[in-house]
C-alpha cells in the first residue's frame, strides 16, 4: 500500500463535522484476547469530573530537561548513545480545523531497537540496551509543532495468539489543560507489513482510521548522514481525528 505523505490532514472549512464513531474498535474484540476480560460486562456509569481533573495541571517549558526529547541520549552514559536506526519524529498537534494546538504536553515511550522494553514485567528475550531508557517528553510550540529524536523501535512478539507480533510503534500521550483531557495513541511506521497483521490494529474497523496512526517517511526532513525523519500529525477531534485508544466514547 502506498500512503499519501499528507493523509487526511487538510484544514477543515465550513461547518464542524463530528468524527466517524464507527472508526473506533468495539470494546469486545476476541481476536485481541485481553479485550475479552477488559471489556465492560455491565452498562456504563457516568461520573462527574472533579475540579482537579478540570483545572490541572499547567505545563511550562521550564519543566523540561534538556534531553527530554532526545531518547538517543537521555538514558545514555556521557559520550555514548542508544543502539539502533536514528530517526526524528516530528509533526503537529492539530484541532479539527488544522490549527496548531500550543502548549500540549506530549509524552512518548517505546521498545528499544530489538523490541524490548525497559520494564520489570517485560519478558521478551531480546537484549536490553544499557544506553536506552525508552521514554521522553516535549511541549508543543506556538504552532502546535513538536519534534524528538530517538531510535526506531523493533517489533516484538506478545502472548495473544500463537505467533502474534506488534509492529514497530511508539506510544503517545497528549495532555490538554486538565488531567481528564489526556489522550493516548500509538504511532506506526509507513511500509511496515506487520501493521496489517496485528490483532490490536485489526480491532480498528476502518483502514482509513488505521492510516491516521501511520507516520510517513519524510526524506525532506532527514539529517543527511545522521537520521531519517517520520512525520506524525495528531488531530484531536473532528472527522479527521486520530484514533485514541482511551477515548472510545469521544474526544
Ligand atoms: Fe508497545
Fold designation for 67-212+230-242: Protocatechuate 3,4-Dioxygenase, subunit A (2.60.130)
CA of 16 to the centre of ligand 1 (A): 33
CA of 153 to the centre of ligand 1 (A): 9
What whole-number distance in Å separates Cα of residue 203 and Cα of residue 212?
A: 14
Spans of all domains in the chain: 67-212+230-242
Known catalytic membership, residue 86: no
Mean pLDDT of the chain: 89
What whole-number distance in Å separates Cα of residue 179 and Cα of residue 183?
A: 10
Known catalytic membership, residue 156: yes
CA of 152 to the centre of ligand 1 (A): 13
CA of 13 to the centre of ligand 1 (A): 36
Known catalytic membership, residue 169: yes
What is the length of the chain? 251
Identify whether 109 is preceded by a cis peptide bond (ω within 30 of 0). Answer: no
Active-site hit among 171, 177, 228, 239: 171
For residue 15 the three cell numbers come to 461547518
What whole-number distance in Å separates Cα of residue 46 and Cα of residue 52?
A: 17
Tens-digit pLDDT profile for residues 84-128: 999 999 999 999 888 999 999 999 999 999 999 999 888 899 999
- The stretches of 115-223 forming alpha helices (DSSP H) are 207-211
Tens-digit pLDDT profile for residues 43-83: 988 888 888 777 766 777 778 999 999 999 999 999 999 99
Q: Which of 212, 159, 146 is nearest to 185 (CA)?
A: 212
Instruction: For residues 238-251, give the mean pLDDT.
Output: 75
CA of 156 to the centre of ligand 1 (A): 8
Active-site hit among 169, 188, 230, 237: 169
CB 142 within 8 A of CB 102: yes
What whole-number distance in Å separates Cα of residue 245 and Cα of residue 247?
A: 6
Active-site hit among 32, 90, 117, 230: 117
Instruction: List, in order, residues 6 or more apart from 247 with CB less than 8 Å away.
Output: 183
Tens-digit pLDDT profile for residues 142-177: 999 999 999 999 999 999 999 999 999 999 999 877
Known catalytic membership, residue 171: yes
Active-site hit among 156, 188, 230, 240: 156
Instruction: List, in order, residues 6 or more apart from 37 with CB less than 8 Å away.
Output: none
Active-site hit among 24, 149, 166, 237: 166
Residue 4: what pLDDT? 46
Q: What is the distance of C-alpha 84 from the center of its chain?
A: 19
Which segment of 13-17, 51-55, 133-137, 190-194 scores lowest on mean pLDDT?
A: 13-17
Residue listed under C-alpha cell 548522514: 225
Amino acid at each position: 500500500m502506498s500512503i499519501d505523505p499528507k493523509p487526511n490532514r487538510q484544514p477543515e472549512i465550513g461547518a464542524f463535522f463530528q468524527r466517524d464513531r464507527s472508526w473506533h474498535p468495539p470494546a469486545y474484540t476476541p481476536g485481541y484476547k485481553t479485550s475479552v476480560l477488559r471489556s465492560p460486562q455491565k452498562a456504563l456509569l457516568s461520573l462527574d469530573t472533579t475540579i482537579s481533573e478540570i483545572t490541572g495541571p499547567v505545563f511550562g517549558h521550564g519543566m523540561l530537561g534538556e534531553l527530554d526529547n532526545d531518547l538517543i541520549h537521555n538514558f545514555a552514559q556521557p559520550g555514548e548513545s542508544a543502539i539502533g536506526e536514528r530517526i526524528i519524529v516530528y509533526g503537529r498537534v492539530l484541532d479539527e480545523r488544522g490549527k496548531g494546538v500550543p502548549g500540549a504536553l506530549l509524552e512518548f515511550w517505546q521498545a528499544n531497537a530489538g523490541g524490548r522494553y525497559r520494564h520489570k514485567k517485560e519478558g521478551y528475550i531480546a537484549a536490553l540496551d544499557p544506553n536506552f531508557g525508552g521514554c521522553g517528553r516535549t511541549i508543543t510550540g506556538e504552532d502546535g509543532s513538536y519534534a524528538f529524536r530517538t531510535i526506531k523501535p523493533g517489533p516484538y512478539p506478545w502472548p495473544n495468539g500463537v505467533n502474534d507480533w506488534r509492529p514497530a510503534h511508539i506510544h503517545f500521550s497528549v495532555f490538554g489543560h486538565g488531567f481528564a483531557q489526556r489522550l493516548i495513541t500509538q504511532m506506526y511506521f509507513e511500509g511496515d507489513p506487520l501493521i496489517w497483521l496485528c490483532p490490536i490494529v485489526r480491532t480498528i474497523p476502518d483502514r482509513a482510521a488505521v492510516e491516521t496512526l501511520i507516520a510517513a517517511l519524510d526524506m525532506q526532513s532527514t539529517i543527511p548522514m545522521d537520521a531519517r525523519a517520520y512525520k506524525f500529525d495528531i488531530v484531536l477531534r473532528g472527522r479527521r481525528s486520530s484514533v485514541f485508544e482511551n477515548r472510545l466514547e469521544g474526544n
